[in-house]
A and B are shown apart, each in its own frame.
Chain A
């Protein structure tokens, strides 16, 4: 059974830092693109960042570029999100998500497994 479990959320002051972790199990982590998606309270979903299987490529939404860093440790089956210079608008539930070709021969990818999420609150 595929499981993704986030940790590291909490209350942080504006300008502060936080590191989110995601523990993955039940699939071959090292062969999967991984993604962070967030959802501000009462709002919709926003893709934040993703990382290639071997960590050689990373992509970010413009609003977090230069402040957030996605990384992974395939030996530990873990995904991370280092968040610096946090702002009130970063307040959200952050989801760890697997990004897969649901059909092996199709180039189309989808977010097929999601963790339960971890809440990050940026407030003084």
Chain B
């Protein structure tokens, strides 16, 4: 199975800060990498697909980069509504594994 490792596990930042979350795959997955945002008590929401593409409706302050084994989710200017937990997930092969999550808190 492909292991997905995120860092950090949690972070606290101020409104307006630039925030980055890393995700590393245990083997090459090219661009088969998606990011999800989950707020407490809610279902996850697709945030980034294919490493760097934004679905319609996702604010442009969110961006994704990377290829191969190393990926990054960046929030260019953190907003109050961006609190929650962020998960990376590989869609290269079954089982479709997730990272352990990164909890983002607003200072």
Interface positions of A (Cβ within 8 A of B): 35, 44-47, 50, 59, 61-62, 95, 102-103, 106, 108-112, 114-117
The answer to whether A44 touches B49 (Cβ under 8 A) is no
The answer to whether B43 touches A110 (Cβ under 8 A) is no
Interface of B, secondary structure class, is loop
Across chains A and B, the number of contacting residue pairs, with CB separation under 8 Å, is: 62
The answer to whether B50 touches A108 (Cβ under 8 A) is yes
Q: B95 on the interface (CB 8 Å rule)? A: yes
Q: B91 on the interface (CB 8 Å rule)? A: yes
Interface of A, secondary structure class, is strand
CA distance A35 to B91 in the complex (A): 12
Task: Indicate the member of B31, B42, B49, B101 with the most A CB atoms within 10 Å.
Answer: B49
The answer to whether A108 touches B89 (Cβ under 8 A) is no
Chain A: which residue is nearest B47 at the CB level? A110
The answer to whether B96 touches A47 (Cβ under 8 A) is yes
The answer to whether B98 touches A45 (Cβ under 8 A) is yes
CA distance A121 to B96 in the complex (A): 24
Given contacts A111-B34, A112-B46, contact A102 B87 (CB under 8 A): no
